[in-house]
């Protein structure tokens, strides 16, 4: 990590510790995102760690045993970000990233609003309602990362947002059982009615609903993949690996015979390596080409 921080020109010892904390969160909780971040040039990796590390920290607070402190933390963090100074370890790395890449505050505010909604909203009537939540929870994260990956055009930003929505919908489908045990149902009520799912239990009705939602998610991945050529050369392999790694969860759900109630499916280490190693080689080749140009 120190070599990455050196490459990024981050010298202050306290700030370096903040970035290291964000990286640790990513390694511990979001290995797919971490693997994808390794495909970035070292000078860009700490910024990806800050964006996703902050998001993971907020998510852990919302899903934790004691959620009472989240509202006060959210208000304090937003006030700090607006003031341009914070003592919070995780937020300090994000604030530095926002300054470095000109990331607008409203993206972080919308993200934290979505996290706060998880404490009070337990279901969504329509897909349009769910999409608003998914934009806040994940679309905004992809847009925060957009300048790091070199997305500058409107078309590239739209593709990045689609990628964020695809990741979030994938999470929702994988975590149906876990969310149900927390008293949350993210599958839109209109879709439950459409497929005759009166109770979320194993059976043909739930399987058909999951097939429908997987097809919807795959369309989002298609939109995201179409935008990869619009990214900077050094960001393309990171986005592609993220799509392949997270998109692989959909295949894992299918191979598990759509059992998302009794288990939390995942992409195996072998599959992750099969995606990451060739992508890393392509990334290194790209960096060499760009550096030689």
Nearest alpha-carbon partner for 127 in 247, 242, 248, 209: 209
- Counting other chains too, the contacts that 152-158 makes at CB distance below 8 Å and 24 or more residues apart are 153/230, 155/227, 155/230, 156/227, 156/230, 156/231, 158/223, 158/227
* Burial annotation 159-194 (CB, 10 A radius, 16+ → b, else e): bbbbbbbbbbbbbbbbbbeebbeeebbbbbbebbee
pLDDT for position 290: 56
Q: Per residue of the chain (293 residues), what is the pLDDT tens digit?
A: 579 999 999 999 999 999 999 999 988 887 778 888 888 999 999 999 999 999 999 999 988 767 788 999 999 999 999 999 999 999 999 999 999 999 999 999 999 999 999 999 999 999 999 999 999 999 999 999 999 999 989 999 999 999 999 999 999 999 999 999 999 999 999 999 999 999 999 999 999 999 999 999 999 999 999 999 999 988 998 899 889 888 999 999 999 999 999 999 877 666 665 655 565 555 555 554 555 33
Q: Give the pLDDT score at 68.
A: 82
User: Can you give the pTM of this predicted structure?
Assistant: 0.91
| Helix 127-134 with 154-174: angle, nearest 10 deg | 110
Looking at residue 138, what is its pLDDT? 97
Q: What are phi and psi of 91, to 5 degrees?
A: -70, -30
pLDDT at position 64 is 76
Domains and CATH numbers, the chain: 1-120 (1.10.600.10), 121-293 (1.10.600.10)
Ramachandran area for residue 237 (φ above 0: left; ψ -120 to 50: alpha; else beta): alpha
């Amino acid at each position: 990590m120190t070599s990455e921080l050196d490459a990024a020109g981050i010298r202050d010892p306290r700030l370096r510790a903040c970035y290291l904390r964000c990286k640790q969160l990513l390694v511990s909780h979001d290995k797919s995102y971490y693997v994808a971040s390794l495909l970035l040039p070292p000078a860009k990796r700490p910024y990806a760690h800050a964006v996703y590390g902050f998001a993971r920290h907020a998510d852990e607070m919302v899903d934790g045993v004691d959620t009472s402190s989240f509202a006060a933390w959210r208000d304090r963090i937003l006030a700090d970000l607006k003031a341009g100074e914070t003592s919070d370890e995780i937020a300090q790395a994000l604030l530095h990233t926002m300054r470095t890449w000109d990331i607008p505050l409203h993206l972080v505010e919308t993200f934290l609003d979505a996290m706060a909604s998880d404490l009070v909203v337990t279901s969504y009537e329509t897909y349009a309602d769910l999409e608003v939540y998914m934009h806040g929870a994940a679309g905004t994260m992809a847009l925060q990362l957009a300048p790091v990956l070199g997305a500058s055009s409107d078309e590239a930003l739209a593709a990045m947002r689609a990628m964020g929505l695809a990741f979030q919908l994938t999470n929702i489908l994988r975590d149906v059982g876990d969310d149900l045990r927390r008293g949350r149902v993210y599958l839109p009520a209109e879709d439950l009615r459409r497929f005759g799912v009166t109770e979320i239990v194993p059976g043909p009705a739930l399987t058909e609903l999951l097939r429908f939602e997987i097809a919807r998610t795959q369309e989002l991945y298609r939109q995201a993949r179409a935008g990869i050529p619009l990214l900077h050369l050094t960001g393309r392999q990171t986005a592609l690996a993220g799509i392949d790694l997270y998109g692989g969860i959909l295949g894992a759900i299918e191979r598990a015979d759509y059992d998302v109630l009794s288990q939390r499916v995942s992409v195996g280490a072998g599959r992750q390596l099969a995606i990451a190693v060739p992508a890393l080689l392509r990334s290194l080749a790209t960096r060499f080409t760009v550096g030689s140009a």
